[in-house]
Amino acid sequence: MSDMRLAVAGAAGRMGQALIRAIASMDGVVVSAAIERSGSDILGRDAGVQAQLGEIGVAFTDDFEAAMAVSDGLVDFTAPDVSVANAGLAAQYGLVHIIGTTGCDAAHEEKIRKAAEKAIIVKSGNMSLGVNLLSVLVRQAAKALDPQDWDIEIVEMHHRHKVDAPSGTALLLGQAAAEGRDIDLDAASIRVRDGHTGPRPAGSIGFATLRGGSVVGEHTVMLAGEGELVELSHKATDRSIFARGAVKAALWARNREPGLYSMIDVLGLSEN
Ligand SMILES: NC(=O)C1=CN([C@@H]2O[C@H](COP(=O)(O)OP(=O)(O)OC[C@H]3O[C@@H](n4cnc5c(N)ncnc54)[C@H](OP(=O)(O)O)[C@@H]3O)[C@@H](O)[C@H]2O)C=CC1
Ligand SMILES: O=C(O)C1=N[C@H](C(=O)O)C[C@H](O)C1
């Protein structure tokens, strides 16, 4: 089979640059386009130079349609409104769409679900093997431990530039815990505490967000019982783990049926 041609949306961003490097270093894929927003100063410059690779002969463009015409897949780590708009367009062109963007609200998620009726979409708040394996362990632990006796708290820390909270990964881990307990995450979540909060409601799932410096991404799920604490953690030290996961997802998704898939599907980590 010929190499899969991958367009990168948000190609000048932190993840965009990691994706350009990952695609250039992996077999079976080539960078076909590097998309940035209209008006960006970077348009016309070589995407490989920005990613510290040297010239790769692909210039940043805001011409989304031209980029789609020369691509088999779109890898998209941008912003929620951008990824939703891209999902509709990628579907029109029959492209695989890998969405790593976090911070989507219920309306964004619904539009992406709708696009996936016609498009092949893989979406995950974290594309790394380690975090997805962790989510399987969290689900098992939450299932095994009585919610009346064991409190679940999820703590995350990211770099100072991150714009959404809780992180997509924290929510993914919260969802895994909620599934283990067979409860609805939205109904059980406590995302903020301030002032006189009263005691902790039994069965709730708490989130705590830290931001600072250059931290790539650290997550700990705490299961706190009387006299003991179980901690399940993941620390990302390099964005290449997300980028390689996203490229792996694109290769996995090629020639699949339309639908909305997750990294659990890609990595074959489903417990069923
Ligand atoms: N699922 C996962 O494994 C991971 C997910 N993420 C998520 O990926 C997203 C991006 O993160 P990060 O790379 O750190 O953020 P950055 O801000 O560094 O990158 C986003 C890039 O998208 C660009 N952009 C904005 N609008 C458009 C548009 N319309 N078309 C094309 N490009 C556009 C931005 O340009 P400009 O700056 O000019 O606005 C910027 O270059 C976040 O939601 C983050 O949480 C991050 C890491 C891993
Ligand atoms: O914005 C980031 O940087 C990251 N975002 C993702 C998230 O919201 O969980 C994944 C990773 O932790 C890095």
Q: What is the DSSP string of 122-169?
A: EE-S---HHHHHHHHHHHHHHHHS-TTT-EEEEEEEE-TT---SS-HH
The Cβ of residue 145 has, within 10 Å, a number of other Cβ atoms equal to 19
Residue 125 has what pLDDT?
98
The Cβ of residue 98 has, within 10 Å, a number of other Cβ atoms equal to 32
Token pair listed for 8: 């990168």
* pLDDT band of 251, cuts 50, 70, 90: very high
Residue 50 has what pLDDT?
98
Residue 272 has what pLDDT?
56
Token pair listed for 184: 């609805």
Q: Is 126 marked as a binding-site residue?
A: yes
User: What tens digit of pLDDT does each residue of 161-215 get?
Assistant: 999 999 999 999 999 999 999 999 999 999 999 999 999 999 999 999 999 999 9
Q: Quick check: pTM over 0.80?
A: yes
**Is there a contact between 143 and 203 (Cβ–Cβ < 8 Å)?**
no
Token pair listed for 9: 């949306």
pLDDT higher at 35 or 272 = 35
How would you class 246 by CB atoms within 10 Å of its CB: exposed for 0-12, middle for 13-18, buried for 19 or more? Answer: buried
pLDDT higher at 257 or 1 = 257
175 phi and psi, to 5 degrees? -65, -40
* pLDDT band of 270, cuts 50, 70, 90: confident
**Which amino acids bring their CB within 6 angstroms of ligand 2?**
102, 125-126, 158, 162, 167-169, 217, 236
d(CA 62, CA 101) in angstroms, rounded, equals 19
**Is there a contact between 76 and 99 (Cβ–Cβ < 8 Å)?**
yes
* Known catalytic membership, residue 162: yes
Report how far Cα 258 is from the mean position of its chain's Cα atoms. 19
d(CA 81, CA 123) in angstroms, rounded, equals 15
d(CA 216, CA 157) in angstroms, rounded, equals 8
The Cβ of residue 58 has, within 10 Å, a number of other Cβ atoms equal to 21
**Is there a contact between 34 and 26 (Cβ–Cβ < 8 Å)?**
no
E strand or H helix that includes residue 235: strand 228-236
The Cβ of residue 220 has, within 10 Å, a number of other Cβ atoms equal to 18
ipTM: 0.99
d(CA 204, CA 103) in angstroms, rounded, equals 21
User: What tens digit of pLDDT does each residue of 76-126 get?
Assistant: 999 999 999 999 999 999 999 999 999 999 999 999 999 999 999 999 999
Residue 1 pLDDT more than 90? Answer: no
Token pair listed for 36: 């940035």
Residue nearest to atom 11 of ligand 2 (CA): 217
Q: Is 13 marked as a binding-site residue?
A: yes
The Cβ of residue 112 has, within 10 Å, a number of other Cβ atoms equal to 23
Side-chain-side CA neighbours of 124 within 13 Å: the count stands at 25
Mean pLDDT (whole number) for 240-254: 98
Q: Which of 17, 37, 161, 162 to mutate to test the pocket of ligand 1 (most atoms within 8 A of CB)?
A: 37
Token pair listed for 231: 């901690």
- Ligand 1 lined by 82 (C-beta under 6 Å): yes
